[in-house]
Structure 1
């Protein structure tokens, strides 16, 4: 990537002094922004990217369902594949869908942005064709896309997690876990719940992570660390204290569909799961081409998913394992539609309807109470295939 000291000027100029107006300006170089810039550059677009730390290495662990990944993504970014991950509510469920963990470094490197012009500055004001930077500079372009992610706020539910990376041999016999809600983490009765997420990072290492799916406020890192240590000790996995640590904290609310936002800021984060990278990668090429990535069906799915998050936030802690027991007994097609069908309105409605009907009565009443403000039941009936 090329750095830039043009940020001190009022406008971006080329070496001959002529004004330069790129086809696309991308604000933010996380996975969403970098994927968008990568696909735009691959299409021959002129691209300027703006980020306060463009050389920063990614350290988070990213994962997705294998069928979410686009064909243009190099296979080498997949570090590990779990053919049928396990999910636990109050009992075990096999998820009949391959799950992949990405190699973070290879993913970042693979999303090469070619000759894109990189401006090391912070975007403070974004308009459809103009960006004003913290330095006072202004950059204009054909399109401006905000891919800076979501800012934290006390009003927004968050997902938090605390994880450790351990040698795989120390986890012998531990199935990869998409989520495990069993109550062996030492949490007090009635405390905000959390689950164990356990996935291979490669052939030699596993990530073991205690996760608060969504909370307002969410569980703290210290709380999750204590629970993880308690849970692992109960399962005979001893920690030395020298393990590499992963901290996770991000909002699951606040993003919204629109033609000038991408990634979590643009509504691509699933509000009821916290996943966004698979959906973002899948849509990056269409977004780079200037296509409408938010047809009416996708906008309605986004609202239905937001209703699903409100339902999860309203459930008593002791009922969450039963809720996920019900979800993971749905047919694989219904699970996939809800988890990944961003534009699949019929599939999402069918999955949510089936889940609602299958829930025990007391959970149905709570879910209805949490979502009726959104007219959820009425919308489901109106849109039922």
Structure 2
């Protein structure tokens, strides 16, 4: 295959898997499009903190590039490809791995797209796939990208002690008792709340993260760190060493790209981020084989389907009508969360986690069908308190009408 790749409301026991993927495809050296992408950065720190304060700790080493066994590619060796994938994040590598397994060989004639690199060279392909992240300018939209934003600051740290059960992780702790002596932070948190995520490894090693689930405009990063500092001080957690830190900003919701269009997308820029949770990586891994299969049906067939029929097939492989309708429902969920204050958010998630685990597991992992999402919404409303129902009904009619309108447009 000619493929190119370029640069406390609930606590329960769970685990995190971080799969690694390797690809035999090529990687561009200096010849790359101009792109600006946002990504998580990691630092290493070793200094001991003052009690309840870890923000002064200095990095021991600077962030480095990930090791990769992808061979360097000379753009003069082969100017034409079947598929070019821009971006070597998890989505791009996973899709490249899947596509390359089909061994497709295609002649390149009039149905091609072209990438112009910053060194002046040009690369052509039957299909160009953008996996370079949210800041890409290659993928086109018909509507304004009115994202909500999730922002978080996390540390994987060595501490003197912590109060958490070693057999459980805390998914969301919405308590604000730690802000009793912080009136400014408490007032802001009552409007735009943040929660603590905690995953202990042993009595002295723990991952802690303060998160704003969704806001528009985005909550400031300095505000997140101040709230986390106040929370750890209140919990009596003294950080001895920060092994790694995580800085996270995730655009959520907004419109889908124009479907179809000449440039295909995968990952964040394609709209697969869960609009209500910010989850994306596992879903991208699951969708990549479906997109690869759609590509193979066109470029690997004796008909050699290219041009607009190819774009239509691949885009609709990623976003069939039911998946689009399900996403509209999840966007409504995000818009609902944007309307709720701290008390409303607590009440909402109290009802959410009181549901049959099948529903809330399925919602968080994007596994519910459209019919199941409808049952989920009715069950959630039934489990909600009277005050929560009133809160949702009074604050969310506009998002509801917008969702119904978008659903009608998708069906038409």
Place the TM-score, normalised by the shorter chain, in its bin: 0.5 to 0.7
Structure ID, larger Rg: 2
Deviations 1:117-158 (CA, angstroms, capped at 9, x unpaired): xxxxxxxxxx97333334443321122111122139995321
Structure-1 separation of matches of 2:405 and 2:361: 21
TM-score (norm. length: structure 1): 0.67
Contact residue 270 and residue 276 of structure 1 kept, 8 A:
yes
Q: Give the unaligned 5+ runs of structure 1.
A: 48-126
Report the 3-state secondary structure (helix = DSSP H, G, I; strand = E; otherwise coil) of the residue aligned with 2:213: strand
| 1:7 paired to 2:11 | no
Cα distance in 2 for residues equivalent to 1:371 and 1:249: 24
5 Å matches for 1:123-272?
129-151=113-135, 155-167=146-158, 170-171=161-162, 173-174=164-165, 175-186=168-179, 187-189=185-187, 190-200=190-200, 205-240=205-240, 242=242, 244-254=244-254, 256=256, 258=259, 260-272=264-276
For 2:285, the equivalent position in structure 1 comes to: 281
1:157–1:214 Cα contact (<8 Å) kept? yes
Listed one character per residue, the Cα deviations across residues 257-279 of structure 1 (whole Å, up to 9, x for unaligned) are 65611111111100110000010
Cα drift, residue 25 of structure 1: 1.1
Q: 1:129 to 1:363 in 2, by over 3 A?
A: same
Corresponding position: 1:364 with 2:389: no
| 2:359 paired residue among 334, 349, 356 | 334
Shift in CA distance, 365/239, structure 1 to aligned 2, threshold 3 Å: same
Q: Indicate the residue corresponding to 1:54 in structure 2.
A: none
How far is 1:5 from its partner?
A: 5.8
Matched, 1:321 2:349: no
| Alignment check: 8 A CA contact 2:253 2:276 kept | no
Structure 2, unaligned runs of 5 or more: 1-24, 33-73, 137-143, 180-184, 295-313
- Corresponding residue for residue 110 of structure 1: none
The residue that corresponds to 2:380 in the other structure is 355
Distance 2:321 2:126 in 1: 25
Q: What RMSD, in angstroms, separates the aligned Cα atoms of the two structures?
A: 3.5
**SS at 1:374 equivalent:** helix
Q: Confirm or deny that 1:296 pairs with 2:321.
A: yes
User: Are the equivalent residues in 2 in contact too, given 1:160–1:214 (CA < 8 A)?
Assistant: yes
Aligned in 2, Cα 1:261/1:378: closer, same or farther, shift over 3 Å?
Answer: closer
The DSSP-based 3-state class of the residue aligned with 1:206 is: strand
**Shift in Å, 1:285:** 1.2
TM-score (norm. length: structure 2) = 0.63
Aligned-partner Cα distance in 1 for 2:254–2:120: 27
Secondary structure at the counterpart of residue 270 of structure 1: coil
Deviation at 1:234, TM superposition (A): 1.7
Q: 1:24 maps to what in 2?
A: 83
**Structure 2 CA distance for aligned equivalents of residues 211 and 35 of structure 1:** 28
